[in-house]
Structure 1
């Protein structure tokens, strides 16, 4: 058995990775071995608030679509946390449950962060897209209906997947590199977009690129500058009240998408602090899931899968 086949067998471990009825399934992202592994750091840590840190073992946690509504669409979710921690429960599992109820198969990505730095997070998200696409039949999803959703720094990672999917830094030499890593759509929640200028989120930049990043890396990872006509259709959600990641981040990305003639829709709300997730009591901002559902439906992503 080839290394590629062995890796897929380990990752799958059955149709969806674990026995049916045993709860969400966790798939190793790199079953053949994490690139540039750092075993001395020990395992991932999860605190009582559902935040994940010290990520040395990247993974995908599978939340199957509601059986009576399954439509063949998949979304890989990148929780936020400034590339320092991941808000796995609030910006991962909660979104996954919502998407599952819409008939979407959701995958919560646990990706590497400051312990590894660039380009490890990019490699993890592109590996996730390739893995889901390569096993689309096993996951009962359509290979051309795979999106990436992210919040805050996770939004930056999702936008990186949508702009740098063909970049050499996103490959490791594995056989799975032959599978397309281009997402079919993006859903960005109060995303970090630029790492330069007054709208930049300094903490995310430092965690990802280090205290003294090279100008070329800042340019590359300021993803509004990497948008092309091949960037996938995008939904953006942000608020004026966000004091951590300025709303200008979403505006910059939307403007770049518009110049490239990429279909895009953006909702900018008055209320809702950074990291609002799916909280109630924020006026119209609390209704963003309804707007997102409408966008998915309008793009045909909630329609029954073709047979």
Structure 2
């Protein structure tokens, strides 16, 4: 690890990086550890990450206990560009790292936006003292890290947003409504509030009637109190200071009910927060950048929304 080429990996061993298949071919892209010291960490040597590799690329991963940021900067970087932190989905059980992470970051680069794929810790009592807030700690720190270092990548610190798919959408919505929650001591003095949020077929609510049960159980446990459910039902936490939001869902989503996005949108509207909801007829769940039916056009709609609102 003395070779300078690998200096930025710090705590992550070379063998781990190779095994995870996340070396970037583009020299301007890096993978860095999010923390010098992970907050509220419980050491569990036998609890190891389980990446799924296909053709040398990490498709998904589970049992994440060491969070990282994969950095994607457009080849033609421009001054005062926007940035987005991407939270892949997977029911708080695994991360769809390629489909809802790397591929999405590459798309953002194609429209001139810097992207940071967050491999956030997946909630478990094995490695964290409070699994409810572990992912939120990672999301807050990722926003602070990008904002603190914005000048390094020509990023406008007032244009740092967050995007999430499915359970990653819940994390992005949590970061957008709980940004003032002091869940750890940060070395950075900058705000953890995203400047905008993009929620793609997101889990929003932890209420039993409409939540994604797997996400609820993995984050809150088997029998969460009503107080805990209310705290992480983000439609109940919207205020006038919640960031401008772009949401998409499909009517035929049978995994995460579209009422999640609808209720969040109505809360944003009630609080006079800039918001746009696209409820597509077909597309199901987990379609990433869009593969068929009407949902395949969401990236076009998203790019237009970002432009209209001054984020690109």
Under TM normalisation by the shorter chain, which class is it?
0.7 to 0.9
Secondary structure of 1:46's counterpart equals: strand
Per-residue deviation, residues 224-250 of structure 1 (Å, max 9, x unmatched): 000001100000000011000000000
Secondary structure of 2:156's counterpart equals: coil
Is residue 148 of structure 1 aligned with residue 162 of structure 2? yes
**Superposed displacement of residue 53, structure 1:** 0.6
Partner of 1:14: none
Gaps of 5+ in 2: 1-7, 12-22
Judging by fraction of residues, say which structure has more helix.
1
- Asked whether the equivalents of residues 69 and 102 of structure 1 are also in contact (C-alpha less than 8 Å), the reply is no
- Asked whether the equivalents of residues 71 and 104 of structure 1 are also in contact (C-alpha less than 8 Å), the reply is no
Per-residue deviation, residues 43-62 of structure 1 (Å, max 9, x unmatched): 43210351111101101100
Gaps of 5+ in 1: 1-7, 12-17, 303-307
Indicate the larger mover: 181-190 or 48-57.
48-57
Structure-2 change in CA distance of 1:10 and 1:143 (3 Å) = farther
Secondary structure of 1:47's counterpart equals: strand
Distance (Å, rounded) in 2 between the aligned partners of 1:88 and 1:78: 9
Is residue 88 of structure 1 aligned with residue 97 of structure 2? yes
Match of 1:56 among 52, 65, 71: 65
Distance (Å, rounded) in 2 between the aligned partners of 1:79 and 1:104: 18
**Superposed displacement of residue 254, structure 1:** 0.1
Distance (Å, rounded) in 2 between the aligned partners of 1:287 and 1:72: 24
Partner of 2:29: 24
Distance (Å, rounded) in 2 between the aligned partners of 1:180 and 1:279: 32
Partner of 1:113: 122
Give the alignment's TM-score, normalised by structure 2. Answer: 0.86
**Superposed displacement of residue 199, structure 1:** 1.0
Judging by fraction of residues, say which structure has more strand.
2
Structure-2 change in CA distance of 1:37 and 1:102 (3 Å) = farther
- Asked whether the equivalents of residues 151 and 191 of structure 1 are also in contact (C-alpha less than 8 Å), the reply is yes
Partner of 1:296: 306
Structure-2 change in CA distance of 1:37 and 1:25 (3 Å) = farther
Q: How does 1:38-53 map to 2 (within 5 A)?
A: 38-48=43-53, 50-53=59-62
**Superposed displacement of residue 42, structure 1:** 4.2
Per-residue deviation, residues 173-198 of structure 1 (Å, max 9, x unmatched): 2322x320000000000000011142
Instruction: List, as ranges, runs of 4+ consecutive aligned residues in structure 1 with deviation greater than 6 Å.
Output: 8-11
- Asked whether the equivalents of residues 141 and 186 of structure 2 are also in contact (C-alpha less than 8 Å), the reply is no
Q: How does 1:141-290 map to 2 (within 5 A)?
A: 141-169=155-183, 172-176=184-188, 178-282=189-293, 284-290=294-300
Distance (Å, rounded) in 2 between the aligned partners of 1:273 and 1:79: 17
Q: Would you say how many aligned residue pairs link Structure 1 and Structure 2?
A: 285
